[in-house]
Each structure stands twice: as C-alpha cells, then as structure tokens.
Structure 1
Amino acid sequence: MPDSSEDSYSSSLLALTQGATLFFIGRILKNGLTALFNLILTRGLGATLFGIYTYAWTLTSLAIVLGRLGTGKSLLRFIPDYSDDLAKRNNFFSLALFTAVTGSSVIGVVFYVAAPTISSQTLESPLLVQALRIFAFALPFYTLIRLTGEVFRSVEKIKYKIVLIDILSPLSKVVFTGIVLAVGYSLLGVVTTLLLVGVFTFFIGIIMIIHSTDLRPSFDLQQTHKNYDEFFGYSIPLTFKDIGSLLYTRIDILMVGIFLTNSSVGIYRISTLLAMFLSLPLSGFNQLFPPIASRLYSNGDLEELGSLYERVTRWTFTLSILPALVAIVYGQEILLIFGPKFTKGALVLSILTIGQLTNCLIGPSGFLLMMTDHQYLNLLNQWILGILNAILNYVLIQRYGIAGAALATASVLSIINLVRIGQVWYTERLMPYSWSFLKPIIAGFTTVCTLITFSFILEGYVLLILGSTGGGIVFLSTLYVLGIEQSDKEFFSKILNDYIINRSV
C-alpha cells in the first residue's frame, strides 16, 4: 500500500477506533445503568409486573423504529456525502425531522386506540392497556431522541450522542424510577416516569444539536422537493428492512407474550438483555463505520475499505469471546442477581449468547451492504429471515417454551450472518477473515476449560467473580503468548505516540 494510502487508511482506522472507544466507554456506562435500571424494576415489580412492563416497552420500541421510517440511516448515508453543501444537508435534516414527527405521531394515535385489542390478544391485562396508552404519548419524543443520536453519528460527533443517549437518558431512568418505586408507586408510576424522562431528554437533545452542529431545519420547500426522491428512495427501502429486522429481533418476545405467561416474558427479556451486551464492541465500531464506509466507497477507496472491514471484524470478535464464554458457563449465577425466579432463563441466555457471538463474528457486514448502495439486498435479507424467524418461533415456543424462542432467534441470527458475509463477497469482493482469527479462537478454548474447572470447586457469586477473573487472565495471557499482530502493534504504537505528542504540546 503506498504511503498516501497507508496514511489515509490509518486516519480512517484511527477515527473509527476513537469513535468506538468513546462509544465503548459510554456504552459501558449505559449498560451498567441499564442493568441497574432492570435490577431496580425486577426487584421492585417482581417477575409478573416486570413482564407486563417488558411487553409494553417492546411494542413501543417497535413503534419507534417504524416511526423513524428509515430516516436515521438516510442521514448516515447523505450527510457525509454532502459535507461541503450545508443547504443540502439542512434539507435532508428537515426531511428527517418532518418524517419522524409525522410517522411517530400517527403510529402513536393507532397505538392508543389499539391498546385494548393488543392486550386481549396477548397478556390480557388492564395494566398493559394503561401502560401502552401512556407510552403512546411518549412515542414521538423517543423517536426524535433516536433520530438525534443519528444526527450526531452522521457528523461524526459521537461524544454528544454518548452524553445524551448512553448517559443522560439511562441515568435519568435509574434515578427517577428508583424514587418512584421507593415512595410506593408501581408499574404505572414507572411508565409515567419514563414518559417524563423522554420529554426531558428530547429537549436536551435539541439544545445539543443547536450548540454543536450547523444543521438547522430548512423551510426552502423547492429545494426540499428536489431532494425528496433521493432521500425517500433510500429511506423507504430501509423502513421495510427495519420491519423485516423487527420480525427476527423482536418477534420472539411478542410470541412469548402470546403463548406463555407474564413472568415468562420478564425472564426471557432479562436473558435477552444480557446476551445483547456481547454486541458492545460491534456496536462501538458501528457508530462511525457507516459514514466512514460511505466516504471511502464514494471515493473509490475499496482497498482501504476492505482492510478496515477485516480489522474491525477481528477486533469485535476478539473482544466478545470472553464475556460470551462467561455468560454461557456461568449463566445461572449471573441471572441469580435479578432474583431466584430469573435463573430459569439460564439455557435461554446460553443459546442467545451463541447467536450474538456469531453476530460479532461477521463484523459490520450489514452496514457495509447499506453503505455500498445494496440497501435492497439488505431489505430482502431482513424479510426472508424475519418470516423464517416468525415461523420457527411459532413452532418451537409451543414445543420448548422460552428455550424454543431463544433457539429460533439464535438460529435465524446465525443464518443471516452467513448470508451477509456471502453477499458482501459476491457484490464487493470483500472478505473479513484471515489466519489471524485463529488466535482468539485458541484463546477462547483455553478460557472455557478454565471456567469449567472453577465450576467444579466453587459456586454462587464467588464462582462468578473468581471464575470470571481467572478466565480473563487465561484469555489475555494466551493472546499474548500467541503474539499480537504486527499491524496492530504499529497502529496502537502510532496512537500512543500521537497522544504523547499532543500532551507535550
């Protein structure tokens, strides 16, 4: 690779790594606060009421995705493309705002009216009806909060997204929900509190956009109309893609609520949240990968894009193996933290963890397809696999309960990942794997042997703490013995040198 290309590659990887590091720090805080929030809810509400809350919030989350109508991904695609054209950026920003407000408001009205019908077909609880109707008012605010996060990603100012969505929002939930439960309120008090938190976070987000970006709503209707086809030609396919995505990411919880009990929903949801923590490294790199990938692809820098793709995939897989193995081997001890009833989800946690690990193994392949103008291919993936997930959940839940839901979802997640890898190779001739992947795999094997050994001599929280610590030491030691990649050494050495120089200046 020529010097100029090498410098360009290092610059892209450095920007991506800095964004991922910031995101990772923020997401550690967010996941810690989210875990504390769910711990407060499970202890304060119990498995049954927590199940009702989970079902209401899951439906609200689906409505938030639909209400955005793909506008967030469109901002990631077009804002970087027109970095030198503020007028056009403002028009795309305006289209996104108008679409999100209109879509979420309409869905909120439908949500409010349909709440009794939803309850009668699922959990059959008056509390679910009331919770859904309160969340209907919260829907536009949470939709715009998510869109605000995509605005910060599109202009590569990830720290503002972290402050707003990863720190301020979950911290507010923990503090105010804890107070509400402490003074004696129950489920409806919690839901009302979340509505108020959404309103508060939304207004803070608007202030942050005004303060940190030059994006402003545009009222130039003529210019906005010129961008209409380009914007919605990209966002509408992504809306249908998101609907298909919901079928394979949320249909399991919806069907658990239809066929099983309220407490089963709560147990399954906690296991799902814990398994999703494994996607932290991938989510971190994905914060800035889309705009960087879009820029590299637009400039024709496919070699640099391929190198970035391979490095990010290897890093995300390596960072995910240790927590995945801990969750699989010590699942029961982890779930005991939330209460004895939740330990019934240990098998569910193991199955979902395996599915999430395959997600990390394929890296940012889904975003790579979208940023290289293959959004229709992504749409087809989501719908085919979403329908398959619905069918598998219907069959397996009735046969195996919540373990069947986990098996169906993990299987579909693994399938879609294999499909994406093949499609990226077929369309762009990019492959994220090399022989260097053997090192984290070998380290993972030695770690799982260590974790199992500890389980023979310890139990409970002592096993979780000491076993995880011992496993972590073995994992890192094995990686060190096998040797760090020379390219990684050079890259991190460059980061360290730049940091020292900047500090000295």
Structure 2
Amino acid sequence: MGREDDETTFEDDALDDEDVADDEREALLTIAHGAVVTSGGVSAQRALVSATEFVVARGLGPVAYGVYALAWRIAQLLVRLVTFGSVPTLQRYLPAYDGDPARRSRVAGLAFATTLGVGLLVVAGAWTLAPWIDAATVDDPAFPTAMGLFGTLVPLLGLVMVCAAVFRAVGSARGEVLFNKLLRPAVRLVGASAAVALGYSVVGVAGAILACTVVLVAVGVPATVRATGVRPSLRGVGSEARRFYDHAAPVAMSSLGKVFQNRVDVLLVGALLTAVATGIYNVVLVLVSIAWIPLLSFNQLLPPVASDLYADDRMETLGAVYSSVTRLIVTAVVPILAVQFVFGRELLALFGPTYARGYVPLAVYLGGVFVGSAVGATGWLLMMTDHQYARMALDWLLAASNVALTYLFVRELGLAGAALGTSLAIAVQNSIQVLLLRRFEGLWPFDAAFGKPVAAGAIAGAVMLGVRAMVGGRPAVVLGTIVGLAAYVLSLHLLGVDPRDRLVVRELAGRYRDDVAEAVPF
C-alpha cells in the first residue's frame, strides 16, 4: 500500500511538471541557471569584500578604518549614479535588438560614453567637495585625499559595470560574474592588502585600489568586445539617443532617489556620529550584503528574460515566472537571515570586539532585507515593462520622507536609527512597487506556498538558538549553522515543496550531472 501511495505521489508530481508550459519552463531554467552561476560568483564576491574589510579594519584600527569606510561608502553611492541608467537600459534594449548588430553597437557606445562623461564630473566634484565633506563629518586630515582618490575610482568602476552589463544583456551570466562579482572585488583586495602590508594608511590603501582598478579596465573593455561581439560605436547615435535616454534618464533619477532613500544612513552616520561608529556601520553593511545574495542571484538573468516575454506579450508566462522566482528567492534567503539574526554578535566580533556593538542595527536591517527579498524583482520588472517613470516618481517621493525620518532616527537612536530608517524605506518601497505591478500589469507573486519556507526558517532559528544557549562562543556559530540548516531542509521537506521548484532542481541537477560526466569521464 505504501508503494502505491509513493507511486501515486510521483505520478501527480510528474503531471504537475508536465502542466508547466514550455516557454515558462525555459524561462525558469534560464533564470535559475543564471542564479546558480551568479550565486557562486556573488558568494565569492562577498567573501572577497569581507576579506578586504577584515584586512583593512584589522590593519588600520577603528578610527582610521572609520575614515576609510566613510570615503569608500560615498564612492559606492557615486558608483550607483555614474552609469546614468545605462546598465538597466542595456538590459532593456540589447536583447530587443538581437539580430541588429548596428543598433546594439550604438546602445553600447552610448552606455560607455555616458558613463565616462558622468564619471569625469564625479572626479571633479569629489576633489572639490572632499574638504567640505571632511569638515562636516570625520574631520580627519587623511580624508580629503582619500575621498579624491576614491572619487577618481568611480568612473573606472562604472566602466567595469557597463562591461558586466553587456555580458548580462547577451545572456552570459559567467561573463558578468567574472567582471563584476570576481575581478572587481579581487583587485580591491589585492590593492588593499598590499598597502596594509607595506604599512600605508588610508591614503595609501585608496591609491593602491585605484592603481589595480586601472589595470582591470585596460584589460576588461577590449575583452568584453571580443567575447560578446558587441562593439561600442557612436556612429549614427542620433537616431538612438532619444530612445536610450528616455529609458536611462528616469532610471538614473530613480537611482539618485534611492541614494537618498536607502543610503542616506551612511552619510548621516558619518555626519552625526563618530568615525568609530561609521566603521561599525560599515561592517554591518558587509554582513547585510551577504543576505542580499539570493535576490541578486535570481535577478541576474530575470531582466532580459522579462524584457523578452513582455515584448512578445506573454504576460501569463511572465506572471508565473515572477511568482516562482520570488518563491525561490524567499526559500534561499530565509536560512541566511536566521543565521545572521541568531549569531550576529559573533560574526561582527570577527572584525574586532568593537564591531559587536553593531548587532542591533544588523537585526533591524535584516527586516528590510526580508521584505525586499519577499517581493522579488519589483524594481526590475517595473523598468522592463516600461514603467520606469512610475518607479522614478516613487523613488523620489519616498526619498524625501526618508531623509527627514532617518535624520530623526539617527539623532534619537544612533546606529540603530540609521538601520531603522533604511529598513523602513526598503520595506515601504518594495511593498508599493509590488502593488504597482499588480495595478499596471496584473503581476502578483504570492500564494500559500510562500508560508512554508518562512515556517521552516522559524524552526531552524529555534534550533540555532538552542545550540547557541548550550555551546556558546564561536564554536556555536559553526555547529549551530550546520544543525540549523539541516533542520531547515528537513522542515521544508516535511511541509512540502512546490512542483515548479522540484522541476527546477531536478532539471538543473540533471544538467550539471551530465556536464560533470562529460568533463570527468570515468
């Protein structure tokens, strides 16, 4: 009788799999494969970033590291702006222009030229405003030069991002991962480690990172052209520029709004608190960046896939793919959040005892990560369905209110207030964006299956708390993580896995098994 029940269950699951339309199956497998490739790259990226922060934090000490952290975070904010919307625009139009090399070349040429032009303005602004920023924040003699050097770094990083975006737009997750997720943080680690080893302080670290990035750009741009076949050109761009900037300009304004909405915390911590507090908050952001890995991974190839489905008016398929991918994101992010919530103090203390003070901001921030991940690729889908102006308006509406609220939160609550302001901004924006997607395009990701990974995560968290209480210290982190993840997988299995999720896992596992068998014949 048991065997008959097992066979019936298998047949039902197989029937569910067959009910998945071919175009939905193809889209899901494309996005999931991109997520697998990207997750490895993003995990390596986060490891390289964490290693860099560890080296610099240990090598410079809390005060000097705070100066470095503020200059570096400001540079990162500028990197978000320097491409002026070119990266999403490449995702929107390079797939649409498949088969038209001339139009692809013009789009790529506009992206590189725009990034370089805006980057030169950033360099001039960074050197000019650095003394004023220093006087308003950390008031350290090393800051202006470090800020100027990191400002000079911004256009170079923008060019690397455009190279990675070209790979991504043509469907090459490996190329994007190589440039943006591996080489970009690797050269930073090499430069920082060399400077610290030679005894340099903040300015030396900034200069070494800049020098290594110059080499990456000199090699990376020609390599991108050779590998993708997309040769940037400005010949005849007049016919393409209007359409390009009609998409890029509102996206750029959205990015500027998001700086004030999601990254004003960095500026306010530097302005209202101490250099040490700035360093602590920077380490918090390093851990938070790890929690964003699932969302970033699944969003790797979702934009070009969504653009293709939208262009062909296959909205039912796009809705099904959006729901399935979002559920996979939630399934992947919940155990990461559980580990960081339970063992956050121990993880922060790895950078030094001072940084354990960042646990409360970390815990608050994780709430925003959960909401942002639980709604999936709302921002990308708004842009890929030509609602970039709606997103721009929302970004600026929430940015204005967030600046005021975060200022009050930081003044009253310190570091925890900075995390609270940003976490609320993330939660509010993503909640509104998912409602806009439903209103404009009828896209809605949620169903009853979303509660299963959340319940499994609660069970895993309880198990990890028990291990932490019994063992304690750093050994509890390793043991608790292993036991907790095992509890999560077991709980998820008992609660039931969606047939589409099983389809993705089975198909990709079979593909990778075949790839391994071909590469390593027995």
SS in 2 for 1:323: helix
Residue range with higher mean Cα deviation, 283-292 or 495-504 = 495-504
Task: Confirm whether residue 351 of structure 1 aligns to residue 372 of structure 2.
Answer: no
Residue range with higher mean Cα deviation, 203-212 or 292-301 = 203-212
Q: Which residues of 2 match residues 287-298 of structure 1 at below 5 A?
A: 287-298=300-311
Match of 1:487 among 484, 496, 500: 500
Deviation of 1:120 (Å): 1.2
Change (3 A) 1:361 1:5: closer
Q: Which residues of 2 match residues 145-184 of structure 1 at below 5 A?
A: 145-184=160-199
The letter of the residue matching 2:246 is G
**Equivalent residue number for residue 210 of structure 2:** 195
**Equivalent residue number for residue 40 of structure 1:** 55
SS in 2 for 1:126: coil
Match of 1:427 among 396, 416, 440: 440
Q: TM-score, normalised by structure 1?
A: 0.96
Match of 1:339 among 348, 352, 374: 352
The letter of the residue matching 2:40 is I
Q: Deviations over 1:93-128 (max 9, x none)?
A: 111111111111012112111211121122222211
Q: Deviations over 1:125-168 (max 9, x none)?
A: 22110101212322221111111111111111121121122222
Q: Which residues of 2 match residues 6-155 of structure 1 at below 5 A?
A: 6-155=21-170
Task: Confirm whether residue 282 of structure 1 aligns to residue 285 of structure 2.
Answer: no
Equivalent-residue separation in structure 1 for 2:197 and 2:233 (angstroms)? 46
**Equivalent residue number for residue 437 of structure 1:** 450
Change (3 A) 1:271 1:370: same
The letter of the residue matching 1:34 is V
SS in 1 for 2:97: coil
Q: Deviations over 1:187-232 (max 9, x none)?
A: 1111001101211111221132122111112242xx3101111011
How many residues are aligned here? 503
Deviation of 1:2 (Å): 12
Q: Deviations over 1:224-276 (max 9, x none)?
A: 10111101111111111000011122100100111000010010111122112
Indicate conservation of the 8 Å contact 2:327/2:450, yes or no.
yes
Task: Confirm whether residue 399 of structure 1 aligns to residue 425 of structure 2.
Answer: no
Deviation of 1:182 (Å): 1.6
Indicate conservation of the 8 Å contact 2:324/2:500, yes or no.
no
Deviation of 1:486 (Å): 2.1
Equivalent-residue separation in structure 2 for 1:130 and 1:401 (angstroms)? 28
Task: Confirm whether residue 273 of structure 1 aligns to residue 290 of structure 2.
Answer: no
Change (3 A) 1:201 1:442: same
The letter of the residue matching 2:290 is F
SS in 2 for 1:156: coil
Deviation of 1:175 (Å): 2.8
Equivalent-residue separation in structure 2 for 1:128 and 1:453 (angstroms)? 45
Equivalent-residue separation in structure 2 for 1:452 and 1:399 (angstroms)? 30
Task: Confirm whether residue 239 of structure 1 aligns to residue 246 of structure 2.
Answer: no
Indicate conservation of the 8 Å contact 1:169/1:197, yes or no.
no
**Equivalent residue number for residue 240 of structure 2:** 227
Deviation of 1:494 (Å): 2.9
Equivalent-residue separation in structure 1 for 2:285 and 2:189 (angstroms)? 20
Q: Deviations over 1:339-389 (max 9, x none)?
A: 000011010110111111111111111111110000011101211121222
**Equivalent residue number for residue 320 of structure 1:** 333
The letter of the residue matching 2:251 is L
Indicate conservation of the 8 Å contact 2:84/2:252, yes or no.
yes
Equivalent-residue separation in structure 1 for 2:23 and 2:90 (angstroms)? 24
Indicate conservation of the 8 Å contact 2:402/2:421, yes or no.
yes
Change (3 A) 1:435 1:125: same
Equivalent-residue separation in structure 2 for 1:148 and 1:384 (angstroms)? 32
Match of 1:476 among 484, 489, 496: 489
Indicate conservation of the 8 Å contact 1:58/1:250, yes or no.
no
Q: TM-score, normalised by structure 2?
A: 0.93
Equivalent-residue separation in structure 1 for 2:187 and 2:193 (angstroms)? 10
Change (3 A) 1:494 1:217: closer
SS in 1 for 2:61: helix
Equivalent-residue separation in structure 2 for 1:3 and 1:317 (angstroms)? 24
SS in 2 for 1:330: helix
**Equivalent residue number for residue 360 of structure 1:** 373
Indicate conservation of the 8 Å contact 2:83/2:162, yes or no.
yes
SS in 2 for 1:433: coil
**Equivalent residue number for residue 323 of structure 2:** 310
Q: Deviations over 1:39-68 (max 9, x none)?
A: 101100112111111111122122222221
SS in 1 for 2:142: helix
Deviation of 1:446 (Å): 1.0
Deviation of 1:469 (Å): 1.5
Indicate conservation of the 8 Å contact 2:41/2:177, yes or no.
yes
**Equivalent residue number for residue 474 of structure 2:** 461
**Equivalent residue number for residue 271 of structure 2:** 258
Deviation of 1:482 (Å): 1.6
Change (3 A) 1:387 1:211: same
Equivalent-residue separation in structure 1 for 2:211 and 2:517 (angstroms)? 46
Equivalent-residue separation in structure 1 for 2:69 and 2:499 (angstroms)? 46
Q: Deviations over 1:411-470 (max 9, x none)?
A: 111111111111111111111011111211210121121122122222210121111111
Deviation of 1:301 (Å): 0.7
Query: Kindly, what percent of the aligned residue pairs are identical?
Result: 28
Deviation of 1:90 (Å): 0.6
Q: Deviations over 1:278-333 (max 9, x none)?
A: 11011011111111100000001111101110011001111111110111121111
Q: Deviations over 1:20-41 (max 9, x none)?
A: 1111011111111111111101
The letter of the residue matching 1:76 is Q
Equivalent-residue separation in structure 2 for 1:2 and 1:409 (angstroms)? 40
